[in-house]
Amino acid sequence: MAPRPDSAALAQACKHLAGLVEQSAAGGPWASGAMGHLADAGILSRFVPADCGGTAADEATLVETLAATATACLTTALAVSQWAAAVRIIAAGPAMVRAALLPALARGETFTTVGISQLTTSRRHLGRPALAADRDEAGWRLDGICPWVTGADACDTIVTGAQATDGGQLFFVVPTAAAGVEIEPPLEMLALSGSRTAVVRLTGVRPMHVIEPAERNATRTGGLATTALAVGAARASIAVVADEAARRPPLAPVAARLEAELGGLVERLTQAAREGLAAEDRDSLRAAATDLVLRAAQAALTASKGAGFVRGHPVERLVRESLFFLVWSCPPAVADALLCEFSGG
């Protein structure tokens, strides 16, 4: 069994990320050096198998890592989650692909990201694949779009998924510099524009590697990573309320209730990472985390009064960032539960 990673190293790394939060939110965690720092500190290697240059931390540690990163800087945490999703797909691939890509990713010599929303929640209503894979004499050819790719213009590769001609789904590793890859300018979003999320168009692109999943059509949304980021973001907002409560005693019961709810969620999340969770329970946990991050951000804004409503204030950023969890990889069951609550149902 691999030794448990040093929690002090994570705390120190997150302290560094917090100092870069404005630079990361503006230009991205690649340009700010946040992603490079996480690689140098050995944090990214936690997500990589031991036989490929990583330290192979257990799932509970990985969830803790994502949550702590989100507390320090949600922009960086989003980038890490997409990097980790790509690494997980590569790690499930053939030995040749693993050996070719993972050691350099663990060391931070190259960066990758994932673009698979077209297989899950984005544009599924159109009735035709957003990205199609066809095979000819020269190999696989990709045509279409990846609607949401975090850090596309900052990464060396994109791990994407496409509908193959036989109806199944395959994953492909595509160099961002490959012929036929067009990365549109990063989207200007309500929050997290520093993630440099963009539409990527592929026209006749020949992928570097092909990875067939163990189960065809097995892609799912709303995993524990998304919930971990929501928990981390909620913790940042609750810390604001607790700080205000230290100076204003009437806020103490509010901070205490939020902290107790957060503690319960962390316990459920850690248990899920250790023991697994049924899809229905996973969605329930995700919905609870989303509900908490929204309420915690509003509590932080209320506690900070007018100062928090001024653009550029940390609380103003936390409020905008909390809304991201309403749209990011949000499974139908979670969206339905939230809409029912918003409508008073």
- 214 pLDDT more than 70: no
> pLDDT for 44-85, tens place per residue?
999 999 999 999 999 999 999 999 999 999 999 999 999 999
CATH of 113-211, one of 3.40.50.880, 3.40.50.2000, 3.20.20.70, 2.40.110.10: 2.40.110.10
Cα 139 → chain centroid:
31
User: What percent helix, strand, coil does the chain show, rounded to 5?
Assistant: 55, 15, 30
Q: Which of 30-34, 133-137, 182-186 has the lowest mean pLDDT?
A: 133-137
Task: Using a pLDDT cut of 70, give the percent of the chain over it.
Answer: 93
Domain boundaries, the chain: 7-111, 113-211, 224-342
Would you tell me the crossing angle of helices 224-247 and 74-91 to the nearest 10 degrees? Answer: 160
3-state secondary structure 252-311: HHHHHHHHHHHHHHHHHHHHHHHHCCCHHHHHHHHHHHHHHHHHHHHHHHHHHHHHHHCC
> pLDDT for 153-183, tens place per residue?
999 999 999 988 777 789 999 999 999 999 9
> What's the whole-number mean pLDDT along residues 90-99?
95
Please give the CATH number for the structural domain made up of 7-111. Answer: 1.10.540.10
C-alpha to C-alpha distances, 198 to 188, 205, 215, nearest whole angstrom:
9, 18, 28
Count CB neighbours of 319 within 10 A: 21
Q: 257: Cβ–Cβ under 8 A, 6 or more apart, which residues? A: none
Q: Which amino acid would we find at residue 222?
A: G
The better pLDDT of the pair 329, 105 is held by 105
Which has the closest alpha carbon to 71: 235, 196, 238, 221?
235
Residue 147's φ and ψ, nearest 5 degrees, are -70, -30
DSSP 87: H
Say whether 224-342 and 113-211 share the same fold.
Answer: no
> What's the whole-number mean pLDDT along residues 296-310?
96
> Which token pair is 264?
């319960």
Residue 331 is predicted with a pLDDT of: 74
Distance CA 316, CA 305 (A): 11
CB of 193 within 8 A of CB of 224?
Answer: no
Q: 171: Cβ–Cβ under 8 A, 6 or more apart, which residues? A: 89, 93, 116, 159, 160, 161, 210, 211, 212, 213
Query: What is the rounded average pLDDT for all residues in the chain?
Result: 91
| Long-range contacts formed by 136-139: CB under 8 A, 24+ apart | 138/206, 139/206
- 121 pLDDT more than 70: no
| Angle subtended at Cα 165 by Cα 174 and Cα 204, rounded to the nearest 5 degrees | 40
On whether the 224-342 domain is CATH 1.10.10.10, my answer is: no
